[in-house]
């Protein structure tokens, strides 16, 4: 696994935020540095180091590192290793931190303080941010700050990272010069058994923390009434899985039914815009580029923004509430059947956004075999870039009919497509299980955080970031490829006296017809074959490309027609189903392959992934096409 380091702020003292998973390090980091890194209510959100800059109260600039959470300094998974390497000064391209802010979850002192003692032993100057004191107070915990500071021999500040409380106190504290000098001789490099015996240290720390909590009167068990009561339903062996299925099903329903109005609006606006520009501009290649290329292509993708946002709205709520690790727990048994554990659930779920963060999140998996399998199947999860392709085809071919109980048929089809991706991922994992022996039998050790009400601010921020990502894609790669495709599809001009649409004589037309030889057996026409190529760089481009190709193929005057009716008239149902099957497996996008290479440290895995996905896609489309034809569709 390679580490990428980007130094935004060279030089300056380096402060690292270290703590158990889910204790609020990133929330504090965002407060201190004004960043917008992802915060969510489960362990393992941050999997790589992120750098920011903060000013102390006296205006001294500091570099701040946000790190993945760690339970101890003996890493058991690649994300923990990132943190431990930084603390030992082994991280590539990064100096050892000059000071560590140990972030401590005040509601889980027993576990959190053990790490503080271990970090303190490293000899790096250290302060403690006692975070989540709001929750601790709600639970009736009274923590004596001075007492804790005395016991630990470290300065302690109270913080509520999500509200910003305590950030100022921390900035002021960091101005104290004597803080930056360590008393202990620092141990740079490998920890050797001569210096430490991990087992003795761990047992010693356990005893020490027990003593501290006893002396501070904090050793009573803290009941977590509300979360426990909710879990009695959520983790119930029958109700739990049923609830999970209902939640997922409702999400896909909402993606279609809620998005209808905003989509119609965007669609109408794009059509109006195309007609307006078309009516006002003189005929010529520039008009064609703007109307057939940019507006028909990019507008075609833009329509799907509402659906993407609705999907993310639900994912963000699930992330913030603390439900995700419960779902992982529920699915542990099923995942065990295909040789994975519940740990793979969150990386796979993240892949619904995009396979890239999903593959990165696989760093939280401690078993190397499981991690690799998770990386290989992550691209089978339906990423949000595939949503436009699905939505276009469903919109064109599946009637908007309401079934019993107000359930929308289109939502059901979308759900089935997502399910097809999940089931094939499980199948591939099962096949891989037959070839790779599993190490030891492991039980799932996963932390179940307390439930939170999702904070509107975080959800809003998360959605806004999605909008920005989408706009950047639309304005960048999608627009670029659309324009390129327009050129290829417009030149050379048709010979004099040609009868077909001009595109048929263009470079793209010829390429499409050559490719159609390969794709003819699975029912793709030359227009689809063209669209598949730029779709490798970004899957949505398949939609914008179809928009451009069809806009240029039409010989009629009203070229700015919406894509959906065009393809619903032009394609057979068998072709549409075949293309849907193709996109369930959709031979990977190039940036996913690059990420697999980075995370696995070689070309073997990305090649294997691309190969098996291509074969699966072709076979699935072939079967779908011929079965549909046989059924007379």
Interface with ligand GTP (CB under 6 A): 19, 21-27, 39-41, 43-46, 68-69, 131-132, 134-135, 160-162, 320, 452
23 binds, among Mg ion, ligand GTP, none (CB under 5 to 8 A by kind): ligand GTP
| Nearest CB to Mg ion, comparing residues 45 and 62 | 45
Using omega within 30 degrees of 0 as the cis cutoff, is the peptide bond preceding 492 cis? yes
134 binds, among Mg ion, ligand GTP, none (CB under 5 to 8 A by kind): ligand GTP
Strand partners, 579: none
584 binds, among ligand GTP, Mg ion, none (CB under 5 to 8 A by kind): none
In whole angstroms, the minimum distance from the beta carbon of 204 to ligand GTP comes to: 25
Contact of 369 with 436, CB cutoff 8 Å: yes
In whole angstroms, the minimum distance from the beta carbon of 379 to ligand GTP comes to: 24
Contact of 39 with 20, CB cutoff 8 Å: no
| Nearest CB to ligand GTP, comparing residues 101 and 563 | 101
Query: Token match 């996109």: residue?
Result: 583
132 binds, among Mg ion, ligand GTP, none (CB under 5 to 8 A by kind): ligand GTP
- If 0-12 CB within 10 Å is exposed, 13-18 middle and 19+ buried, where does residue 35 land? middle
In whole angstroms, the minimum distance from the beta carbon of 158 to ligand GTP comes to: 9
Distance from C-alpha of 462 to C-alpha of 37, rounded to nearest angstrom: 10
424 binds, among ligand GTP, Mg ion, none (CB under 5 to 8 A by kind): none
Exposure on the CB side of residue 572, measured as CA atoms within 13 A: 16
DSSP assignment of 567-579: HHHHS-HHHHHHH
In whole angstroms, the minimum distance from the beta carbon of 24 to Mg ion comes to: 8
Contact of 567 with 328, CB cutoff 8 Å: no
- End-to-end alpha carbon distance in the chain: 48
Site for Mg ion, residues 76 to 95, rule: CB under 5 A: none
| Nearest CB to ligand GTP, comparing residues 63 and 363 | 363
Residue 558: how many other CB atoms lie within 10 Å: 10
In whole angstroms, the minimum distance from the beta carbon of 105 to ligand GTP comes to: 8
| Nearest CB to ligand GTP, comparing residues 25 and 539 | 25
Strand partners, 63: 14, 53
52 binds, among ligand GTP, Mg ion, none (CB under 5 to 8 A by kind): none
In whole angstroms, the minimum distance from the beta carbon of 453 to ligand GTP comes to: 10
Selected range binding Mg ion among 18-26, 395-403, 450-458, 462-470, rule: CB under 5 A: 18-26
Q: Does 341 bind Mg ion (CB under 5 A)?
A: no
* Pick from 32, 60, 53, 64: nearest CA to 168: 32
Helices (H), ranges, 398-438: 409-435
CA distances from 139 to 106, 108, 209, 210, 225 (A): 10, 12, 20, 20, 10
624 binds, among ligand GTP, Mg ion, none (CB under 5 to 8 A by kind): none
In whole angstroms, the minimum distance from the beta carbon of 22 to ligand GTP comes to: 4
| Nearest CB to Mg ion, comparing residues 82 and 533 | 82
| Nearest CB to ligand GTP, comparing residues 37 and 591 | 37
C-alpha 267: how far from its chain's center? 28
DSSP assignment of 120-148: HHTT--EEEEEE-HHHHHHTT----HHHH
21 binds, among Mg ion, ligand GTP, none (CB under 5 to 8 A by kind): ligand GTP
In whole angstroms, the minimum distance from the beta carbon of 185 to ligand GTP comes to: 29
| Nearest CB to Mg ion, comparing residues 26 and 131 | 26
Q: Which helix (H) or strand (E) holds 103?
A: strand 99-105
490 binds, among Mg ion, ligand GTP, none (CB under 5 to 8 A by kind): none
DSSP assignment of 383-394: -TTTHHHHHHHH
| Nearest CB to ligand GTP, comparing residues 71 and 612 | 71
Selected range binding Mg ion among 20-28, 149-157, 411-419, 576-584, rule: CB under 5 A: 20-28
| Nearest CB to ligand GTP, comparing residues 131 and 253 | 131
Of 16, 40, 45, 356, the residue at the interface with Mg ion (CB under 5 A) is 45
Q: Does 41 bind Mg ion (CB under 5 A)?
A: no
* Pick from 357, 338, 339, 337: nearest CA to 347: 357
447 binds, among ligand GTP, Mg ion, none (CB under 5 to 8 A by kind): none
- Given phi > 0 = left and psi -120 to 50 = alpha, else beta, which region is 619? alpha
In whole angstroms, the minimum distance from the beta carbon of 132 to ligand GTP comes to: 4
| Nearest CB to ligand GTP, comparing residues 163 and 416 | 163
Exposure on the CB side of residue 339, measured as CA atoms within 13 A: 23
* Pick from 188, 10, 186: nearest CA to 91: 188
Of 41, 46, 321, 344, the residue at the interface with Mg ion (CB under 5 A) is 46
CA 468-466-25 angle, 5° bins:
105
Selected range binding Mg ion among 23-31, 255-263, 575-583, 603-611, rule: CB under 5 A: 23-31
In whole angstroms, the minimum distance from the beta carbon of 25 to ligand GTP comes to: 4
Residue 614 token pair = 């291509």
320 binds, among ligand GTP, Mg ion, none (CB under 5 to 8 A by kind): ligand GTP
| Nearest CB to ligand GTP, comparing residues 162 and 263 | 162
| Nearest CB to ligand GTP, comparing residues 25 and 343 | 25
Kindly report the length of the chain.
633
Distance from C-alpha of 204 to C-alpha of 199, rounded to nearest angstrom: 8
- Assign 3-class secondary structure to 515-561: HHHHHHHHCCCHHHHHHHCHHHCCCCHHHHHHHHHHHHHCCCCCCCC
| Nearest CB to Mg ion, comparing residues 361 and 588 | 361
Q: Does 26 bind Mg ion (CB under 5 A)?
A: yes
> Which residues contribute to the site for Mg ion (CB under 5 A)?
26, 45-46
């Amino acid at each position: 696994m390679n580490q990428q380091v980007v130094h935004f702020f060279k030089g300056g003292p380096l402060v690292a935020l270290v703590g158990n998973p889910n204790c609020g390090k990133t929330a504090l980091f965002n407060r201190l540095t004004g960043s917008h890194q992802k915060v969510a209510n489960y362990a393992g959100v941050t999997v790589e180091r992120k750098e920011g800059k903060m000013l102390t109260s006296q205006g001294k600039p500091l570099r701040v590192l946000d790190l993945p959470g760690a339970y101890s300094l003996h890493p058991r998974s690649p994300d923990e290793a990132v943190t431990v390497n930084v603390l030992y000064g082994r991280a590539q391209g990064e100096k050892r931190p000059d000071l560590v802010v140990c972030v401590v979850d005040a509601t889980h002192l027993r576990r959190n303080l053990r790490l503080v003692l271990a970090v303190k032993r490293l000899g790096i100057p250290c302060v403690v941010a006692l975070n989540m004191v709001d929750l601790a107070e709600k639970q009736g915990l009274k923590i004596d700050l001075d007492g804790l500071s005395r016991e630990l021999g470290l300065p302690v500040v109270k913080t509520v990272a999500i509200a910003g409380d305590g950030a100022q106190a921390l900035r002021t504290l960091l101005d104290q010069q004597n803080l930056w000098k360590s008393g202990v001789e620092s141990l740079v490099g490998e920890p050797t058994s001569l210096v430490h015996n991990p087992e003795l240290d761990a047992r010693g720390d356990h005893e020490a923390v027990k003593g501290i909590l006893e002396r501070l009167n904090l050793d009573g068990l803290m009941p977590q009434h509300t979360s426990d009561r909710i879990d009695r339903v959520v983790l119930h062996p029958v109700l739990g899985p049923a609830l999970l299925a209902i939640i997922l099903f409702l999400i896909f329903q909402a993606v279609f039914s809620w998005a209808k109005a905003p989509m119609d609006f965007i669609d109408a606006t794009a059509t109006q815009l195309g007609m307006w520009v078309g009516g006002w501009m003189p005929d010529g290649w520039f008009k064609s580029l703007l109307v057939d290329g940019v507006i028909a292509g990019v507008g075609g993708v833009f329509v799907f923004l509402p659906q993407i946002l609705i999907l993310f709205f639900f994912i963000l709520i699930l992330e913030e509430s603390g439900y995700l690790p419960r779902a992982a727990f529920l699915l542990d048994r099923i995942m065990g059947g295909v040789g994975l554990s519940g740990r793979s659930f969150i990386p796979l779920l993240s892949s619904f956004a995009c396979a890239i963060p999903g593959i990165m999140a696989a760093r939280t998996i401690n078993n190397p075999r499981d991690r690799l399998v998770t990386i290989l199947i992550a691209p089978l999860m339906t990423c949000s870039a595939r949503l436009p392709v699905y939505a276009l085809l469903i919109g064109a071919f599946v009637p908007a009919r309401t079934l019993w109980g107000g359930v929308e048929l289109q939502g059901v089809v979308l759900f089935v497509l997502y399910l097809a991706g999940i089931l094939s991922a499980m199948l591939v994992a099962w096949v891989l299980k037959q070839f790779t022996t599993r190490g030891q039998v492991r039980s799932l050790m996963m932390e179940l955080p307390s439930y939170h009400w999702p904070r509107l601010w975080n959800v809003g921020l998360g959605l806004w970031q999605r909008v920005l990502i989408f706009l950047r894609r639309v304005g960048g790669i999608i627009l670029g490829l659309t324009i390129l495709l327009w050129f290829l599809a417009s030149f050379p001009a048709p010979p004099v006296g040609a009868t077909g649409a001009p595109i048929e004589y263009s470079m793209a037309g010829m390429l499409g017809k050559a490719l159609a030889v390969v794709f003819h057996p699975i029912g793709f026409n030359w227009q689809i074959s063209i669209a598949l190529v730029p779709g490798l760089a970004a899957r949505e481009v398949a939609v914008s490309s179809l928009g451009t190709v069809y806009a240029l193929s039409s010989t009629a005057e009203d070229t700015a027609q919406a894509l959906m009716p065009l393809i619903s008239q032009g394609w057979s149902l068998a072709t549409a189903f075949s293309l849907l099957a193709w996109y369930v497996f959709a031979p990977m996008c190039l940036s996913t392959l690059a990420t697999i290479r980075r995370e696995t440290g070689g070309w073997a895995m990305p090649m294997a992934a691309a190969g098996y996905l291509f074969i699966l896609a072709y076979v699935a489309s072939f079967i779908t096409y011929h079965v549909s034809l046989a059924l007379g569709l």
